[in-house]
Amino acid sequence: MFFQHIYDKTLAQGSYLIGCQAKKEAIVIDAKRDIDTYLEIAKANNLTITHITETHIHADFLSGSRELAAATGAQLYLSDEGGPDWQYQFPHVGLKNGDKITVGNLTLEVLHTPGHTPESISFLLTDHPASNQPVMVFTGDFVFVGDIGRPDLLEKAAGLAGTQDIGAAQMYQSLKKFAELPDYVQVWSAHGAGSACGKALGAVPSSTVGYEKIRNWAFQYGDNEKGFKEYLLAGQPEAPKYFAMMKHLNKVNRPLLVEVPRHPKLSKEEFLAAYNKGLKVIDARNKIDFAKGFLPGTINIQGNNSFSTWAGWLLNYQEQFVLIASDEQMEDLTRKLMRIGLDNVYGYISSIEDLGLPLQTVDVIDINEFEAYVGKTDAQIVDVRGVSEFTDGHVEGATNVFVGTLPENLDKFSKNKQIVIHCQSGDRASVAYSLLRAHGFEQVKNYSGGMKEWLEAGKKVVQG
């Protein structure tokens, strides 16, 4: 058996290519949208991708299953569980609990494991030349290393009222099915640490059924279903705004993108024309370079592992936008954007110094100046971290406005006070600073050291 785990650190998303080397057939589970990765792996190992499947209708990335099927001619196998409201709306071979997919000498048995979503399925893999006992289970967003999938996303991200309580009850029952699997079966999920699909995902890529039963919090509640549900639904991270769009696009017919696009580098004249027309400009430089000089109105989303997430929070899927990024960055940024379906890139520029436009600078302050503002009535201290982070400990008197929802909460900021923003270690504060300046707030200071530096210095925090 051939096995490869393909992991996208930017979205903490895992996909899999599993092959039967005797029959030279392969299956891909939960493909990302830049499918050249799978084509290259299959070619290098003399395999043909004949089967493609998914564990559920994803909310956190735009699945590449249809792109991969278009490029290879492989058959799509997708869940038909969950009822009429949870069906994929394009041609596929439907899967129900107990069905089996045969890939050469391998079989993948379908387990209906609802909870995260009603249609969620897992795949129990058996490598028959080695043994007729199962060896791996691919759980999608059902069971992670150290955690389980959250059932509240449909309600919080897609606005489907009442689904989180139903999902929590379904998850409780699905875990009983999981616990009946042999302890030695390896667990491979669709996400790792850093994903918003859970609150305590482990950093190692895989586990076993037996280890999760003794280590994963979800298996420690016994018959206390009420306590299990309460803990499962409490303290989940903010659901990124783009999740609702992913849920829709992964379910319906949509245009396919089978190659990584190459976006045009704009001339000075082309950029200025777009800029003056009001096209949104995303500055992907690091926060230090951005602080030294940035174009008025531009938003700083650094081109690091969090680029996709913040772009998904802050960009409109119907509008074009421009990037400020180096030539070397563009392929990586394009892949990150296409993985969440943000394809409306008008173009990019690499330098802002020769545009002939005045640049602004970020007013970055140190811990001493920050502390001087704490408690002042003419200053507004704003913590732009998530709600659970804020609750765990924050500077006394601080207001919490999560950076992802900042554009919808501008009324919470005062133009008559000195605004001082911070996050954990500076990245989110840079995004927030640029957003506030772009919306006309002039009295803004950025405490870039954030809560990390504040706590290391032994400064006072309050909880709740």
**DSSP codes, 414-454:** -TTSEEEEE-SSSHHHHHHHHHHHHTT--SEEEETTHHHHH
- Domain ends where: 183, 215, 249? 249
Do 178 and 307 fall into the same domain?
A: no
Please give the torsion angle defined by the CA atoms of residues 53, 59, 62 and 67, in that order, rounded to the nearest 10 degrees: 20
Domain annotation covers residue 13: yes
Please measure the distance between the N-terminal and C-terminal CA atoms of the chain and give it in whole angstroms. 51
pLDDT of residue 154: 78
Residues 207 and 337 in one domain: no
Closest CA to 376 of 354, 393, 391, 396: 396
Residue 316 lies in a domain: yes
Contact 55, 138 (CB under 8 A): yes
The tokens describing 361, both together, are 């600078």
Q: Pairing state of beta strands 399-400 and 379-383?
A: parallel
Please check whether residues 379 and 338 belong to one and the same domain: no
Assigned domain for 317 exists:
yes
* 241 shares its domain with 293: no
pLDDT for 371: 97
Task: State whether 332 and 384 are in the same domain.
Answer: no
**Strand ordering across the sheet containing 25-29:** 2-8, 13-20, 25-29, 48-53, 75-79, 93-95
Tokens 């005062």 — which residue? 414
- On whether both 319 and 173 belong to a single domain, the answer is no
Kindly state whether residues 105 and 150 are assigned to the same domain. yes
Answer yes or no: is 358 within a domain: no
The answer to whether position 240 is within a domain reads yes
CATH code, domain with 369: 3.40.250.10
Confidence at residue 226, expressed as pLDDT on a 0 to 100 scale:
96
Based on its alpha-carbon atoms, the radius of gyration of the chain, rounded to whole angstroms, reads 24
What pLDDT sits at residue 22? 98
pLDDT at 407: 97
Residue 429 belongs to some domain of the structure: yes
The range of the structural domain enclosing residue 393 comes to 364-456
DSSP-based three-state secondary structure for 407: helix
Contact 189, 134 (CB under 8 A): no
What does the alpha-carbon distance between residue 342 and residue 340 come to, in Å, rounded to a whole number? 6
Closest by CA position to 194, among listed 205, 183, 185: 205
Say yes or no: 293 and 408 in one domain: no
Sheet holding 106-112, edge to edge: 100-103, 106-112, 121-127, 136-140, 186-189, 206-208
Last residue of some domain: 349, 376, 406?
A: 349
In a domain, 260, yes or no: no
Question: Does one domain contain both 377 and 344?
Answer: no
Nearest to 57 by CA among 145, 138, 121, 123: 121
Which residue has 């030349």 as its token pair? 129
* Predicted pLDDT at 239: 87
pLDDT of residue 440: 96
**The Cα angle at residue 36 between residues 80 and 69, in degrees rounded to 5:** 30
Q: 57 with 160: CB under 8 angstroms?
A: no
Q: What is the pLDDT along the chain (464 residues), one digit of tens a residue?
A: 999 999 999 999 999 999 999 999 999 999 999 999 999 999 999 999 999 999 999 999 999 999 999 999 999 999 999 999 899 999 999 999 999 999 999 999 999 999 999 999 999 999 999 999 999 999 999 999 999 999 998 787 767 777 899 999 999 999 999 999 999 999 999 999 877 777 778 788 999 999 999 999 999 999 999 999 999 999 888 889 999 999 999 999 999 999 999 999 999 999 999 999 999 999 999 999 999 999 999 999 999 999 999 999 999 999 999 999 999 999 999 999 999 999 999 999 999 999 999 999 999 999 999 999 999 999 999 999 999 999 999 999 999 999 999 999 999 999 999 999 999 999 999 999 999 999 999 999 999 999 999 999 999 999 98
Residues 152 and 205 in one domain: yes
Q: Is residue 258 part of a domain?
A: no
User: What are 464's two structure tokens?
Assistant: 């709740």
Helix and strand element counts for the chain (H, E): 15, 21
Are 73 and 202 part of one and the same domain?
A: yes
The CATH number of whichever domain residue 15 belongs to comes to 3.60.15.10
**Is residue 71 within 8 Å of 86, Cβ to Cβ?**
no
Q: Exposed/middle/buried for 318, CB within 10 Å: 0-12, 13-18, 19+?
A: exposed
Give the containing element (helix H, strand E) for 231. Answer: helix 225-233
DSSP structural state of residue 412 = G
Q: Are residues 401 and 273 in the same domain?
A: no
Overall domain count for the chain:
3
- Which of 349, 382, 408 is the last residue in one of the domains? 349
Bridge partners, 148 (sequence order): 143
Contact (CB, 8 A) for 279 and 322: yes
